[in-house]
Amino acid sequence: MTADREVDVVGKACPLPLIELAKAVRTLQPGQTVRITGNDPIFEESIVELCREAGHEVLETDRRGRTVCMLIRVRPEPGRR
């Protein structure tokens, strides 16, 4: 599945993956998708937490060693909850 936007944060540490994902989400419409790739030791749990708090949906998680690739669907209602 192709994503509307790709974000690569390989080699970057917390909190940069969170910041990059939040910025990417702001450029997208509700329901669009973003794929984020990173290899921070706490990358996956951080992204899962952000999505849970912000209301985004994690569609796919692809783990290749430490590198994790996650496909995320932007929450239906953007803006403040």
Partner 1 sequence: MDRKKATILLQSGELDKALSAFIFANGYAALEIETTMWFMIWGYNCLKRRRSLFAPFRRKVDPAREGAYRVLETDSVLQPLLEMLNRGGARRLPLSRLNLMGLGPALFDKLLKRKGIMTLEELIQSAVDLGVKFKMCQICFDAMGVSVDDLIVPNVEVKGVSEYARDTMEAQVNLFI
- The phi, psi pair for 3, rounded to 5°, reads -100, 155
Euclidean distance between CA atoms 51 and 4, whole angstroms = 17
| 22 is an interface residue for partner 1 by CB under 8 A | no
What would you measure as the largest C-alpha separation in the chain, in angstroms? 36
Stretch that binds partner 1, among 26-34, 46-54, 56-64, 68-76 (CB under 8 A): 46-54
| 42 is an interface residue for partner 1 by CB under 8 A | yes
| 72 is an interface residue for partner 1 by CB under 8 A | no
- The phi, psi pair for 29, rounded to 5°, reads -90, 160
Q: Which is nearer to partner 1, 6 or 49 (CB)?
A: 49
Q: Which residues bind partner 1 (CB under 8 A)?
A: 13-15, 18, 40-42, 45-46, 49-50, 53
